[in-house]
Amino acid sequence: MTGTVLLAVGGNALVLDGEPGTVVRQQERAARFATQVADLVADGWRVLVTHGNGPQVGYIVRRGELVAADAASEGLPDLPLWLAVADSQGGIGHLLAVALDGALELRGLDVRAVAVLTHVEVDADDPAFARPTKPIGAAMTATTARRRAAEGWAVVETAPGVHRRVVPSPRPRRVVEAEQIHALAATGAVVVAAGGGGIPVVRRGDGWHGVDAVVDKDHTSALLAASIGVDTLVLVTGVDEVCVGWGTPDRRALRHVDPVELRGHLEAGEFPAGSMGPKVESVLQFVADGGHRAVITSLASLRDALEGRSGTHLTVGDRPSRTAAPDRRTPPTGEPMITLPAEPFPFTFDPRHVALLCIDFQRDFMEAGGFGESLGNDVSRLRGTIEPTSRVLTAFRRHGWPVIHTREGHRPDLADLFPAKRDRGSPALRIGEEGPMGRLLVRGSAGHGIVPELAPVAGEVVLDKPGKGSFYATDLETILRARGITSLVVTGVTTEVCVQTTVREANDRGFESLVLADCTASYFPEFHRSALDMFSAQGGIVGWVGTSDALLAALVPTTIHEEVAR
């Protein structure tokens, strides 16, 4: 899920330590957080949100304990910890979803938030059940902590003079609703999921059963992000960056770190289990499971961190990673996205905003007797593009998506032909001279037409261009913007001349281009390969490179995309 970020925020993002956790205060903090998320959506990110529930689940449990003496006479049921987790997940999910919907609507975005009741499978034999470590509830003084411990609570000092109740926190093994969360995220919705680390359940012969525990939300977030292919995981904490040597004169912030270094610091005891330890463990697990990039930062620095200006960034050196948001001009549309393997990383496009560009499949370039052969080229080397391009063309027509054909050629009076182009090289025949298929590269001649196998049909745009680039001296950009196109699937000849020029022009204008390697070709195979390498170099500096097979495979299960309304 390229261009997708999972934000994991703590329950104390809504309730700060030491302050009253009133509903009004939590609503205010949810609204501030929602504003930040809406900014990211407006930037083009697809966003998932997970959240902790430490303070809130503690409140719920404590309320149950306060009325326990009267529970029997009042007919009140017991409140097990796992049900308190479910209660907190529903309540916080509601607060966040309402705040998010409001913030998104204020920006004029049609995206909406969806809160998913989420379960996580844990191991019934996890040793954490015998060793409580997860803090819940409000901070306590030492006096209150001693009184609660006498009542049977497990209490620890989480900071000097600050005490918290702790409960078991087993490791999550599986997010039960992961597939459904992935499907919702693919629609462009802001998905709120895995609240409080998920409702812990164990699997027995007769089904799922809740267990009394609170799963660490960072561990669950890393598991969920890796299992559904999220590109970037962000764990939000109280500091801008992870530091080593905390509390000493040798304190040092970690900005960009690799897994080996970070694990070394963890094993050296730099990150305590009750604070930064679980976050570090979680980001290490995320990249070990195939994640691209993990960031630890504060809520205030969130946007700067995603743009690489703040935070601690964990990446794997030889794994491509998208380090910036998608095209900021186009917010998600709500239509399911399509993703396919490509270089340097998977290409994702919205089917409502994509077009197929077929560049210069003309007889003058691809058949004997045309301009290409007059230059001494073997035109048969281009004809291998016809079959795969025909299959892609058929798919686009079946889905009702736009197709644009270009033809390079000049006016019959050659008024648009510069001498610099006319006099280049030593062809047997020059542009405008008579050949076996009429005047070479002149509009209206037989050679100027597109090969029959790829000929346009009614309703498809045919664009005549006088130069190599499809944007030069044409209205292509106007056509694309009028139709809301942001992504181009590019086919055509030749790879290193007209295709490459067009893709670079498209990139400069903000369009994202996927070049299909087997649907493009050159008279010189080495030039073809070199051009493809240049497209995807430096993290996709001008575009992506894929294949027709990969594209068509990605379209096979997407019958929902057919007849997309534009």
Q: Which residues are catalytic?
A: 360, 465, 498
What are the CA-CA distances from residue 95 to residues 31, 113, 244 (Å)?
A: 9, 11, 35
Beta strands in 323-416 (DSSP E): 338-340, 347-349, 354-359, 403-408
Q: Are 5 and 48 in contact (CB under 8 A)?
A: yes
C-alpha of 283 from chain center: 17
- Return phi, psi of residue 319, to 5°: -110, 120
Whole-number Å distance between alpha carbons of 342 and 95: 39
Contact status, residue 274 vs residue 156, Cβ threshold 8 Å:
yes
Under a CB-based contact definition with an 8 Å cutoff, are residues 26 and 96 in contact? no
Amino acid letter, 50: T
Token pair for 544? 């992506």
**Helix pair angle (259-267, 277-288), 10° resolution:** 150
State the Cα–Cα distance between residues 206 and 99, nearest whole angstrom.
39
Beta-carbon contacts of residue 309 (< 8 Å; ≥ 6 apart): none
> What is the distance between the alpha carbons of residues 193 and 221, in angstroms, rounded to a whole number?
9
Tokens of 360: 């210069």
Task: Dig out the tokens for 393 from the structure.
Answer: 């063309």
